[in-house]
Copies of this chain bind each other. A is one copy, B any other.
Amino acid sequence: MLKEKMKSWKHIFKLDPAKSINDADLNKIKQSQTDALIIGGTDNIEATDVIDLLLRLTDTSLPVILEVSTMKAIVPGFDFYFIPLVLNSQDKKWMMDIHHHAIKEYKEYLDYADYFLEGYCIFNEDAKVFKKTNCKKPTTEDAVAYAYMAENFFKLPSFYIEYSGKYGDVDIVKAVKAELKETLLFYGGGIKTLHEAKEMSAYADVIIVGNVIYENIDQAIETTKINEK
Chain A contacts with B in 154-201, Cβ cutoff 8 A: 154-156
A47 within 8 A of B: no
Binary flags per residue of A51-88, CB closer than 8 Å to B gives 1, else 0: 00000000000000000000000000000000101010
Q: Which of A92, A142, A149, A152 has the most CB of B within 10 A?
A: A92
Are A103 and B155 in contact, CB atoms less than 8 angstroms apart? Answer: no
* Chain A residues touching B, majority SS: helix
A153 within 8 A of B: yes
Q: Which of B91, B110, B117, B153 contacts A99 (CB 8 A)?
A: B153
Q: Which of B83, B96, B99, B103 contacts A95 (CB 8 A)?
A: B96
Q: How far is the CA of A146 from the CA of B141 in the complex (A)?
A: 29
Min Cβ gap A78→B in Å is: 18
Min Cβ gap A54→B in Å is: 25
Are B99 and A149 in contact, CB atoms less than 8 angstroms apart? Answer: yes
Are B100 and A145 in contact, CB atoms less than 8 angstroms apart? Answer: yes
Q: Besides A100-B149, A117-B153, A154-B155, 6 other CB < 8 A contacts?
A: A90-B92, A92-B95, A96-B149, A104-B142, A153-B154, A155-B155
